[in-house]
Amino acid sequence: MNLIREIWQSIVRRDPLTTDKGKSELVFLNVWLHIHPAKVKKENLKFKHSFYLGFITFFLFVILVTTGIALMCYYRPYPPQAYQDMKDLQFVVFMGPFLRNMHRWAAHGMVVCVFLHMCRVFYTGSYKKPRQFNWVVGVFLLLLTLGLSFTGYLLPWDQLAYWAITVGTNIGSYAPFVGAQVREILLGGHTVGEAALLRFYVLHVAVLPSFVILLTIVHFWRVRKDGGLSRPVWKLAPPKQQPLVTIGAPVETVALNVTAASKDKTYGLMEVVTGKPIFETVTPEEEEDTVFSYPYAFVREAVVLMATVTTIMMMSLFLDAPLEELANPAKTPNPAKAPWYFLGLQELVSHSALLGGVVAPTLMVLALLAIPYLDRNPSRRPVDRKLILWLFTFFVVVNLVLIVIGTFFRGPGWAMVPPWVHVVAGAE
Amino acid sequence: MVPSVFYEPPQSFKIGNPGDFPYGPPTFMADEKIFVFRDRDRGFAVASAVCTHLGCTVAHFGSDQKFHCPCHGSVFGADGAVLHGPAPRPLNWFEVTVARDGQLNINKDKIVPSSYRLMV
């Protein structure tokens, strides 16, 4: 028994969790948990501040990696076999449909949650100094999520896949100067075929997920380094108050009072940092308004994880991921529609491929990237930010309207057909 | 990242004897993505079935003599000119010649005006 205890204690070296020291050590002696601070502000944990959207997105990504690896065991990225493997997943593989459904709905969920997370960060003004760069990282994560969705729905090699590659790579070819080369590199040739499928597979299972993991690490690290989650808007100090006290920072007129280290100190202070810290300042009252990450933050995260997995599993039991017929280069389906999240883009390119497919999306992304640097207003309070809130809301509404038009108001030949008019398929 | 060799179908290929093609509505050749027109008075012409907008395959209905793209609603007239929709250029017409063995030969690298006809 002593040996077992010794082994256990060699793995878990913290004090018991009943003590405050143990609660702290659980966090900072653990490589996985130490991205958290030992203590978090109580108000920041509230659901109504963040809706836990960042966590939900991350957990959906974990589901996607897990189910994705399982799906890779049943999939060959080669044109005729790829579709056959889809059929096997539907009818032969044990729990195959459930597995595929989970991957599909988690992917759709991730697109939704990344977008909602971005909206939450915007509306709470959480991209402001010092968090500007983390917003930029977040925009790239949004783009990677869309890239993963696009490369993902190509893999079944059904009609949707084939025509999405065709249209998608042709949009790329409208890019000025590099268009033709971009298309050739993406396709690995000039026509949509086996080389193209293999390349999109490599992008989907290796290249893009690696970048997502890298940027997620940076994103989380930055959240921590920028002072944790932003303060909820309702906790912001009212304007024209006394300046906040910065703990540990020298008051400008008073010399920093350095206490000589006692002889029994067991740590080394590498450098005395002077000046104000870059993260948000806290009042002593706020400092007391904190709780230990264990259990308060971890329990909430575990609940969010379970709720996310449960929701995706329930959806996967009742909703089946679509699969169209085998890719047929000779016959474009009519109408040929992308998944809902790209229908706004499809609506734009239906007016002009260059303006709608290249110029408008590029400008949108540049605008998103520039937001934290162009918005010079230091206040995070909604009353002080009316104009920019309206502008962003307009941006969101335009995107939603385009998606709604593309989804419900476009019929065969991309003609305007209201959803209440019944169109007989094939009646051309 | 660009392959040294492309294992792709050739751009110049034979499609069969002139007598194989009927008069009237065009013959759609799915693998080659072309429409072969044969007119009693004016001879052969070959149009591309690839929409110049984003590469979807257009359909031709004998009823209205037009080409319709299902993806974004482009419509091309009988001569391939853009009548409606986002397509930036007219449909391509390809050179059609008679090979030594009497078969029709299409060269997709040679774009010809829509008035081009091969009399056989």
Please state, as a whole number, how many other Cβ atoms lie within 10 Å of the Cβ of residue A94.
Answer: 6
Examine the domain organization and report whether B74 and B23 are in the same domain.
no
Chain A: residue whose CA lies nearest to B56: A332
Cβ atoms of A240 and A246 within 8 Å: the answer is: no
Taking one residue from A and the other from B, the number of pairs with CB-CB distance under 8 angstroms is: 88
Q: Please tell me whether residues B31 and B8 are part of one structural domain.
A: yes
Q: In sequence order, what are the residues at sequence separation of 6 or more whose Cβ sits closer than 8 angstroms to the Cβ of residue A292?
A: A20, A23, A24, A38, A39, A40
- Is the Cβ pair B86, A334 closer than 8 Å? no
Interval A98-153: pLDDT, tens: 999 999 999 999 999 999 999 999 999 999 988 999 999 999 999 999 999 999 99
Q: What is the mean pLDDT of chain A?
A: 87
pLDDT of residue A428: 42
B73–A329: do the CB atoms touch at under 8 Å?
no
The predicted-structure confidence for B22-44, as pLDDT tens digits, reads as follows 988 899 998 899 999 998 887 89
Contacts of B3 in chain A (CB under 8 A): 188-189, 195
Of A170, A207, A349, which to mutate for an interface test with B (greatest number of B Cβ within 10 Å)?
Answer: A170
Tell me the pTM: 0.88
CB within 8 Å: A189 and B6:
yes
User: From the list B7, B56, B68, which residue is nearest A336 (CB)?
Assistant: B56
- Residue B48, SS3 per DSSP: strand
pLDDT band at A268 (very low <50, low <70, confident <90, very high): low
The residues, ordered by sequence, that sit 6+ positions from A253 with a Cβ below 8 Å of its Cβ are none
Q: How many domains does chain B have?
A: 2
Which pLDDT value is given to residue A338?
87
Residue predicted with more confidence, A281 or A48 = A48
Say whether A349 and B86 touch across the interface (CB within 8 A): yes
Task: Give the pLDDT band of residue A415 (cuts 50, 70, 90).
Answer: confident
Q: Best interface-test mutation with B: which of A169, A332, A348 has the largest number of B CBs within 10 A?
A: A332
Q: Which domains does chain A have, with CATH numbers?
A: 23-251+279-337 (1.20.810.10)
Domain identity same for B18 and B43: yes
Q: Do B8 and A167 touch (CB under 8 A)?
A: no
What's the one-letter identity of residue A96?
G
B33 lies in the same domain as B60: no
**pLDDT at A263 (0 to 100):** 53
Sign of torsion, CA B72 B78 B79 B84?
negative
Give A289's pLDDT tier (boundaries 50, 70, 90). Answer: confident
The pLDDT > 90 percentage for chain A reads 57
My answer on whether B79 and B58 are in the same domain is yes
Distance from the Cα of B14 to chain A's closest Cα (Å) equals: 18
Same-domain check for residues B58 and B100? no
- The verdict on B19 and B58 lying in the same domain is no
pLDDT of A417: 86
Distance of CA A345 to the CA centre of its chain: 19
Q: How far apart are CA A89 and CA A99, in angstroms?
A: 8
Residue A355 pLDDT grade (very low, low, confident, very high; cuts 50, 70, 90)? very high
Q: Are A99 and A305 in contact (CB under 8 A)?
A: no
Cβ atoms B48, B94 nearer than 8 A: yes
Own/partner contacts of A297-300, CB < 8 Å, gap of 24 or more, are A297/A36, A297/A40, A297/A45, A298/A33, A298/A36, A300/A45, A300/A52
* Pairwise CA distance, residues A47 & A60, whole Å: 18
* Same-domain check for residues B2 and B38: yes
Are residues B44 and B97 both part of a single domain? yes
Distance separating alpha carbons of residues A13 and A61, to the nearest angstrom: 31
Minimum-distance CB partner of A333 among B55, B70, B86: B70
pLDDT attached to residue A230: 85
CATH code for the domain in which residue B64 is found: 2.102.10.10
Confidence of residue A427 (pLDDT cuts 50, 70, 90): very low
**Band of residue A419 on the pLDDT scale cut at 50, 70, 90:** confident
> What are the tens digits of pLDDT across the range B96-106?
999 999 999 99
Between the CA of residue A266 and those of A29, A261, A425, what are the distances in Å? 17, 10, 78
- Burial class of A347 by CB neighbour count within 10 A (0 to 12, 13 to 18, 19+): buried
Position A269 scores a pLDDT of 52
What tokens does A166 get?
């065709």
Q: What is the pLDDT of residue A412?
A: 84
Categorize the per-residue pLDDT at A251 as very low, low, confident or very high, splitting at 50, 70 and 90: low
Q: How large is the ipTM?
A: 0.88
Kindly give, in sequence order, each residue whose CB lies less than 8 Å from that of residue B115, ignoring residues fewer than 6 positions away.
Answer: B79
Q: Which of A262-276, A283-297, A329-343, B67-81 has the lowest mean pLDDT?
A: A262-276
pLDDT score for A281: 55
What mean pLDDT do residues A186-208 have?
Answer: 93
Tell me the shortest Cα–Cα distance from B88 to chain A, in angstroms.
8
Contact B59 A334 (CB under 8 A): yes
Residue with tokens 């597979």: A201
Residues B18 and B35 in one domain: yes
pLDDT of residue A43: 85
What domain range includes position B13? Answer: 1-49+92-120
CB A60 within 8 A of CB A110: yes
H-helix or E-strand spanning residue A31: none
Asked whether residue A333 carries a pLDDT value surpassing 60, the answer given is yes
Domain check: are B81 and B101 in the same one? no
Do residue B74 and residue B110 come from a single domain?
no
Cα atoms in the Cβ-side hemisphere of radius 13 Å centred on A96: 14
